[in-house]
A and B are shown apart, each in its own frame.
Chain A
Amino acid sequence: MPTRPDPAARAAIWRASVGIGVYAGAFGLTFGAVAVASGLSRGQAQALSAVLFSGASQFALAGVVGAGGSAWAALGPVLLLALRNGFYGVTLAPVLDPRGPARLLTAHLVIDETTAMATAQTDRPAQRLAFWSTGVVLFCCWNAGTFVGALVGSAVDTDVLGLDAAGPAVFLALVWPALRRSVRARWVALAGAVIALALVPVAPGGVPVLAAAAAAVLGGLLPQRPGPEPEPAPA
């Protein structure tokens, strides 16, 4: 029976989850507004946030529909963007070890934020708590934000509020603990970013980020030095 994380660690994980929840609420608001402006109904916007529950895919679908394309044409980019979550599932499977019906619920919450929060923790109980607290808080805030955003529609211009900076800033914050822990992770992050940027002009949406997985494969299979990696000296 693994020990529970100590109260201070638990509190820190919940605080981080609420921080991500605030971001998700603001971003959900943006999605709701963009979705109804694109021609999706309020019900469809809400269904996407509740059932598809993967921000990048949802924005892609709204984007294609809004640009006058058919939603069928959007299925390609939507599912390409969602493939990332399949990779995350592989990362999370040994951490969460979900069995039976629990796996069905767990799968729904496998997204960027829950994966990053879980993998940022150093022991199993903390990793599980981080996954579930982030997943539940984010799901509620994302859907509440979508509801309000779809209601007010284009009355708010979220770019004026600077909310388009929230995505990259929060994802940077999510990957930060891994970068602090390991030099190898920094090289993998750099290589992943370079691969994706190189592919942006030539590959369809979703593919550049997927291709960055090659950096992780390379970084993971290169020979490992014995023993823990040395902590780098502070810059």
Chain B
Amino acid sequence: MNLWVPVLIACAGSYLIKLAGLSLPESVLANPGVQRVTTLLPVAMLAALVAVQLVQSGDGAGPYALDWRVLVGVAAGAVALLLRRGFLVVFVVAVVVTALLRLLVPAG
């Protein structure tokens, strides 16, 4: 089967979804209630994304398969955030802590 066809449909679909969101009429967006909701949308969805990625970080079979080493790595990144560090530091801290834990405590 040619994989290109579904690949290109996925590309087109993804683009049209992005364009549709940007193209809502201004009358809808001017509503103050809508504005408060749209400000909070990225907060709710990014927080959900973090939570879902964390519980799916392990190799386990069930729906919740948390790899505690990833959790500790991300927690170390959160400490860097509390210390007001930038993205790069948070990224490096989380990755290095996770990699070190994997090296020191291999999966049983």
Contact = CB atoms under 8 A, between A and B. Distances in A.
Interface in B10-55: 10-11, 13-15, 17-24, 26, 29-30, 33-55
22 contacts: A15-B86, A19-B87, A23-B88, A70-B6, A75-B9, A82-B13, A85-B21, A89-B17, A90-B24, A93-B24, A170-B90, A171-B53, A172-B50, A192-B43, A192-B44, A192-B51, A197-B52, A209-B49, A212-B45, A215-B40, A219-B44, A220-B38
A21 to B, nearest CB: 9
Nearest to A47: B7
A18 interface: yes
A140 interface: no
A18 B89 CA distance: 12
Given A189-B46, A220-B34, 16 more contacts: A19-B86, A56-B49, A57-B14, A82-B17, A90-B29, A93-B22, A94-B35, A107-B21, A161-B95, A165-B73, A167-B53, A192-B48, A200-B55, A208-B52, A216-B41, A217-B37
A211 B49 CA distance: 11
Interface residues of B, number: 75
B10 A166 contact: no
A228 B57 CA distance: 38
A79 B94 contact: no
Most chain B CB neighbours (cut-off 10 Å) among A23, A192, A221: A192
B14 A115 contact: no
A9 to B, nearest CB: 14
Chain A contact residues: helix, strand, loop or mixed: helix
B18 A61 contact: no
B3 A94 contact: no
Contacts of B94: 162, 165-166, 168-169
Interface string A60-101: 010001000011101100110011111111111110101000
Nearest to A201: B63
Given A23-B91, A71-B7, A197-B55, A91 B46 contact: no
Contacts of B97: 162, 165
A166 B18 contact: no
